[in-house]
Structure 1
Amino acid sequence: MSDATNIDQLFGQALAADDKLPVKQRAILQAAFDLFAEQGFDHTTTKDIAQRAGVAEGTVYKRYKTKDELLDAVLAPMATSVVPSAATEFVELRLKGDYTDLHAYLQAIVDDRVDFVMGNYKYLKIVAERVLADSDFKTRMLKMVGPRVLTPIVENMGSLQAKGLLIDWPVDILAQLLISTVFGLAGRIILLPQPVDVAAQKRMMVSFLERGLAPEK
């Protein structure tokens, strides 16, 4: 995974780019984001956040009346900037290549996305938990990220299909099968406490997808 796909860095960049955010408020949001990732939302107190941000606890309450309100403020740039930026980078780095081999294509997609999740699972867990609990946030995330990723994948698969490297099924269904399989492992890594043999999971996932997506003989 490249440094540019580090969610913590992208979050800091999003805060720095917002010239309407006062310095103390920016520090509070960064501290909250880091602590929610490190300790979990429920185990993080406003006192913890204030200490990490280098401000008085009253300064946190002055701007954010509740911890839920603070979480919403943390997740706003995640939905509007951070996750969309990560999705765009994935498209530029992995989906703009001219693939001539199905195995190489699947290996590149699986490696990139699984490595991304492994490197950022603490931050992605914050997003995943909110998606499961808040349908409005889920809708905003899908609206921001979905077209950025789905359209290029469909185009890639259409190109592979034209080369005779994919089964002759509707391309949107093929994209759905690929995305749901990768997201299944991503969800397991993010939300479940059991350790995952990532290398073995990658091999099995690529093998599974290749057998299912290859042209019928």
Structure 2
Amino acid sequence: MGKVDINKKQKKNALLQTAFDLFRDKGFAKTTISDIVSDAGLAKGTFYLYFKDKYDLRDKLIAHKAGQLFADAHHALLDQKFNSFEDQIIAVADYIIGRLNDDHGLLTFISKNLSWGIFKTAFENTLPDESLQFYDYIFEQMKKNSYVCPEPELMLFTIIELVGSTCYSCILYGQPVSVEEYLPYLHTVIRQILAGFLVQQPAQIETKTAS
């Protein structure tokens, strides 16, 4: 990445982070584009190089923050050992829920938008290549564990929607129970979802041809 590209990335990230802080503290409706560029120390024209309007920035910011969660989950899992693919998926869900439980401001901002649309936007258009590693990681691990999934994106969609909606209610409102109480049930449901989507292939046994 050249110096010009790095500078552009830094400016865009400054606008995203500044907007997030203002949306969280003042609220989306009360935050203006002028507020964002002023706090970021950038010219107003710079804003329109990256975003159409405040609503476009909000949508990209949701994708950006959600994408960061998945990228961080990927890095957190790299050095861990798991007994099964199912355990890996549950670890991803637990990591994301843990992060959102620690940062209610982030959860409130993302709200119920931790969905498949946000997931796809984040990984296709918003974040750098390292974020795509999580998406690739899931499918690599699926193959490594001798699984075939006829509808892999539908499987991920179901799990992401489930995690997003349930953790929102449990963390912010403790309804129907606290997130700690709910996790064992969530784990069971995730395993059932995976069982419905995955087909385990027989392990390939290497044979030596007699000479």
Query: Shared topology, TM-score over 0.5?
Result: yes
Question: Which residue pairs with 2:143 in the alignment?
Answer: 158
Question: Which residue pairs with 1:41 in the alignment?
Answer: 28
Alignment of 1:119-158 (within 5 A): 119-120=102-103, 122-123=105-106, 126=109, 140-144=121-125, 147-158=132-143
SS in 2 for 1:108: helix
Q: Which amino acid aligns with 1:159?
A: K
Structure 1 portions without partners, runs of 5+: 1-16, 163-167
The answer to whether the 8 Å contact 2:23/2:31 transfers is: yes
Q: Which amino acid aligns with 2:100?
A: V
Question: Which residue pairs with 1:186 in the alignment?
Answer: 164
**Offset at residue 41 of structure 1 (A):** 0.8
| C-alpha distance after superposition, 1:70-102 (max 9, x if no partner) | 4545765775x6654543332232256452246
SS in 2 for 1:19: helix
Question: Which residue pairs with 1:116 in the alignment?
Answer: 99
The answer to whether the 8 Å contact 2:73/2:92 transfers is: no
How many Å separate the matches in 1 of 2:79 and 2:173? 34
Question: Which residue pairs with 2:149 in the alignment?
Answer: 171
**Offset at residue 150 of structure 1 (A):** 3.1
* Match for residue 203 of structure 1 among 173, 184, 189: 184
Distance 1:174 1:131, change over 3 A: closer
Distance 1:139 1:128, change over 3 A: farther
* Structure with bigger RCO (C-alpha 8 Å, 6+ apart): 1
How many Å separate the matches in 2 of 1:36 and 1:191? 21
Q: Which amino acid aligns with 2:94?
A: D
**Offset at residue 198 of structure 1 (A):** 1.0
The answer to whether the 8 Å contact 1:125/1:191 transfers is: no
How many Å separate the matches in 1 of 2:72 and 2:100? 14
**Offset at residue 204 of structure 1 (A):** 0.6
Distance 1:158 1:95, change over 3 A: farther
The answer to whether the 8 Å contact 2:15/2:37 transfers is: yes
TM-score, structure 2 as length reference? 0.55
| C-alpha distance after superposition, 1:15-63 (max 9, x if no partner) | xx9535899x987764432121234312435686688x398xxx87676
Question: Which residue pairs with 2:53 in the alignment?
Answer: 69
How many Å separate the matches in 1 of 2:84 and 2:102? 27
Q: Which amino acid aligns with 1:44?
A: T
Question: Which residue pairs with 1:9 in the alignment?
Answer: none
Kindly tell me the number of residue pairs found equivalent between the two proteins: 183
The answer to whether the 8 Å contact 2:16/2:61 transfers is: no
Distance 1:104 1:44, change over 3 A: same
TM-score, structure 1 as length reference? 0.54
The answer to whether the 8 Å contact 2:71/2:133 transfers is: yes
The answer to whether the 8 Å contact 1:32/1:49 transfers is: yes
How many Å separate the matches in 2 of 1:29 and 1:208? 35
The alignment yields a C-alpha RMSD, in angstroms, of 4.9
How many Å separate the matches in 2 of 1:22 and 1:90? 23
Q: Which amino acid aligns with 1:111?
A: D
